[in-house]
Amino acid sequence: MTGLRPSTTGIYALRPGVREVAPLKNHITLPQYFGSQGYFTFTCGKVYHDGSIAPADRPREFGVWGAAPGMPMPPRKFVHTPVDIRAMDWGIFPERDEDQADWKIADAAIAQLKALPRDKPFFVACGFRLPHVPCFASRKWFDLYPPETLILPDVRENDREGVPPFAWYLNWKLPEPRLSWLKKAGQWRPLVRAYLASTSFMDSQVGRLLDALEATGRADQTVIVLWSDNGWHLGEKAITGKNSLWERSTHIPLIFAGPGVTAGAKCAKPAELLDLYPTLVDLCGLPARPGLEGHSLAPQLKNVNAPRLWPAISTHNQNNHAVRSEDWRYIRYADGSEELYDHRHDPHEWTNLAADTRYADVIAEHARWLPKVNAPPVPGSADRLLVEKDGEWYWEGKRIVPSELED
């Protein structure tokens, strides 16, 4: 939304929100820029993280804010996890799709599409919540994935062999359960099934939204982008959730359609969500916005073989980065430890090649893309924050004890 890296802004945690950080108070975000260019702007659902934009600041971001209901909750939890919070749950719920948050979010976007101003171009951002814990869906979506034929993720024993201990620091003491607990509790298969069911339900809401766009008669003039904010481990590397710099956390769907996009093509070049801001500006023929750290994907959307100079960079807290090129993933942690994976032969990232001197040139080539600026966390940073103090590391304010590393 800002077009800037977390290593530039210093926003690494869930708090504070963008407008609570002094240097970003008047920064022009993606929807703001489109609004300044004469676009009608609308949002609904979870586009910004819940509560990250104060009500007084909302009119600056989008012209109209629609519904953003939270996830429905059953009277009692289905699954009691080690960190037993309400959101960490999965199962068949609710009975009707219409009671789901994503159905109501789609309703809000559909209603707005029916009432678009005819004299303006439009920018509509619809943030679906699923797939996300709690992984709930009605029975018909679970029926798509019978337990007896369910395919579990390809996970091997000792999945973390060769991985630096510091990798644990990025997902330390989280509410998302470890694979070891899922296996002991008999919940690995139910969680995978619930994740797939909730994804399929969410897909159906995307379909409703696209049908509504077609009904406006303006679909052929509209750039459509479908993407996810992160991936999700379902046992890979012994964890569930998204707090890692591995492929499973950082590889997401990114689909474009509309003017300037070659239909049915698939590009293997690495891309970043940071690229969305300059790409949409480019595709919509607006004046280039200076100061953005992403790069337009328009050349690749027209020709999938167009050269792309930049890898994709992911950051998790200060000074922890992954650099993903077409064939390789290189990770460097804040303590200097490293990982290197050859995706041509090791798509599961099972073999860390960083200590092999034969790959020194590959590491050097990728390391040159690491962000040169690594801003400290902004004042007030909290929730999933990793910081170093006096030579020790703290996760969410609690000191990490290496001897307590979990499996």
End-to-end CA distance of the chain: give it in Å, rounded: 35
Phi, psi of 370 (to 5 degrees): -60, 140
Q: Which of 149-153, 155-159, 258-262, 284-288 bottoms out in mean pLDDT, i.e. has the lowest?
A: 155-159
Task: For residues 394-402, give the mean pLDDT.
Answer: 94
169-172: list long-range contacts, CB under 8 Å, 24+ apart: 169/333, 169/386, 169/393, 169/395, 169/400, 170/243, 170/244, 170/245, 170/316, 170/317, 170/320, 170/386, 171/239, 171/241, 171/243, 171/244, 172/386, 172/395, 172/400
β-pair partners for 322: 314, 331
Predicted pLDDT at 406: 67
Distance between CA atoms of 349 and 154, rounded to whole angstroms?
A: 11
For residue 110, what is the enclosing H or E element? helix 101-114
Which two three-digit tokens encode residue 23? 């240097």
Predicted pLDDT at 407: 61
Predicted pLDDT at 404: 83
Query: Residue 168, class by beta-carbon neighbours within 10 Å (0-12 exposed, 13-18 middle, 19+ buried)?
Result: buried
Q: Where are the beta strands (DSSP E) in 359-399?
A: 386-389, 392-395, 398-399
Task: For residues 252-279, give the mean pLDDT.
Answer: 97
Domains of the chain: 6-305 (3.40.720.10)
Distance between CA atoms of 95 and 140, rounded to whole angstroms?
A: 9
- Taking only the tens place, the pLDDT of each residue in 83-137 is 999 999 999 999 999 999 999 999 999 999 999 999 999 999 999 999 999 999 9
Distance between CA atoms of 298 and 280, rounded to whole angstroms?
A: 8
Which two three-digit tokens encode residue 180? 């070891």
Predicted pLDDT at 164: 96
Task: For residues 217-228, give the mean pLDDT.
Answer: 97
Indicate whether 20 pLDDT > 80: yes
Distance between CA atoms of 78 and 86, rounded to whole angstroms?
A: 10
Which two three-digit tokens encode residue 272? 């970043």
Predicted pLDDT at 389: 96
DSSP per-residue string spanning 290-334: TT-SS---HHHHH-TTS-----EEEE-STT-EEEE-SSEEEEE-T
Predicted pLDDT at 191: 98
For residue 339, what is the enclosing H or E element? strand 338-342
Predicted pLDDT at 403: 85
- Taking only the tens place, the pLDDT of each residue in 194-210 is 999 999 999 999 999 99
Look over the chain and give the mean of its residue pLDDT values, rounded to a whole number. Answer: 97
- Taking only the tens place, the pLDDT of each residue in 348-369 is 999 999 999 999 999 999 999 9
Task: For residues 295-320, give the mean pLDDT.
Answer: 98
